Amino acid sequence: MVTRPYALSSDAETVAELRELYRASEARAARLRLLSTSGRELAKADDGTLNHVLQTCAERLAFFAGRQSAEIARADGGRGIAIKAPGAGGAVVARLVIPDLEEIDAVPDVEDREAFRMHLELMGTTIDRIARERERSELLAALQEREKRLALMLEKVFTAQEEERRRVSHELHDGVAQTATALVRLLEGAESAGAAAVGPAPKQVARGLVSELRRVIAGLRPTLLDDLGLLAALQSLGEGLAAEGFAVRMVLEGKNARLAPMIETALFRVAQEAIANIHKHAGGPCAVTIEARLDDDPVVLRIIDEGRGPAVPVRGQDGATGHRVGIDVMNERMSALGGTLEWSGKPGRGVTVEARLPRGSL
């Protein structure tokens, strides 16, 4: 009789235990392959490939759970297993829809459930990461666009300043300087000719010089704007147009309403620019409406002319360049105050300029 150096309880039991250990080892290897493969793919995913990678991982997870298909649904879809962003109380960022599997606890094996949960965490982390990257990218693009707009606005501000200086220089040269020269010559002539001098009295020329200076000063910043407010300054602009032959209709409401100086200045500059463009482009005297409603919400300033309008239709922010000289600067100024400015017109049908400021921003 042959004796064995050691004894096993049963060959059958040993084989069964080995098979069980092998199956457990295979199951663990399968879980590791699932997490490793999906983890690599999710780590490489970007905004352009995210949907494809998520769908691939969802199908792989479905096969792992013994199902044939899966899909990724919207976070607010209401059906499927929630995929959450990382962290305590992470928001639901998507949902995993697998037929006949409504929750993780329906997965029978404990270790399989844990692997399933870890897989969902990887997917949630990736979705959250790419969402944050997208937000940063959009913010960076918005900042870059804002910088471009600020640079453009700065350029236009300098251009507008130079145009204003050029206009004042011409008016001083052609008006005030010429009148002052005439006054000097009259005074010199009076000194040399005595009482026999003929021509305009120096007193009249001096008065004309004062009037001319006041006109130039008013063009820079009317004292009415500081003393009596926006409506009085708009009234003065309208009267100036009427004196030039324009048929001016004024609707000025809110006589007792005084706005902040910065607001009144911004609205006055819009009106001033609109009237300057009427002089340039309307084609001569025409009907003009100046409307200001300071008691409304939003506060409204509207200037309409019935002149010949732009050479080409003005569409939103595009349109005839000549009509937009200075307007973009005014638009930026209104935007900075929380308001809006619209400029529209059609050939032969005039131009409308409308500024609006919500009372909450005043």
Q: What is the pLDDT of residues 101-159, one digit of tens each?
A: 988 888 888 988 999 999 999 999 999 999 999 999 999 999 999 888 877 776 777 67
Residues of the chain with pLDDT under 50: 1-2, 6-8, 314-323
Which contacts (CB < 8 Å, 24+ apart) does range 333-337 have?
A: 333/266, 333/269, 334/266, 334/270, 337/262, 337/263, 337/266, 337/361
Query: CA neighbours within 13 Å on the CB side: how many for 219?
Result: 18
Task: Work out whether strand 247-253 and strand 92-97 pair parallel, antiparallel, or are unpaired.
Answer: unpaired
Which pair of tokens denotes residue 83?
Answer: 């995929």
- Spatial distance between the Cα atoms of 87 and 92, rounded to a whole number of angstroms: 11
The per-residue pLDDT for 266 is 84
The per-residue pLDDT for 335 is 83
Helix/strand/coil for 255: coil
Cα first-last separation, the chain = 110
The per-residue pLDDT for 215 is 66
List, in order, residues 6 or more apart from 194 with CB less than 8 Å away: none
Tell me the fold of 11-136: Beta-Lactamase (3.30.450)
Domain boundaries, the chain: 11-136, 223-362
Task: Work out whether strand 287-293 and strand 247-253 pair parallel, antiparallel, or are unpaired.
Answer: parallel
Record the pTM: 0.48
The per-residue pLDDT for 161 is 67
The per-residue pLDDT for 11 is 64
Assigned CATH for 223-362: 3.30.565.10
Which pair of tokens denotes residue 193?
Answer: 């000719």
- Using CA atoms, how far residue 46 sits from 130, 185, 351, in Å, is 6, 81, 49
Residue type, 124: G
The per-residue pLDDT for 190 is 66
- Using CA atoms, how far residue 257 sits from 253, 281, 291, in Å, is 9, 32, 15
Query: CA neighbours within 13 Å on the CB side: how many for 27?
Result: 15
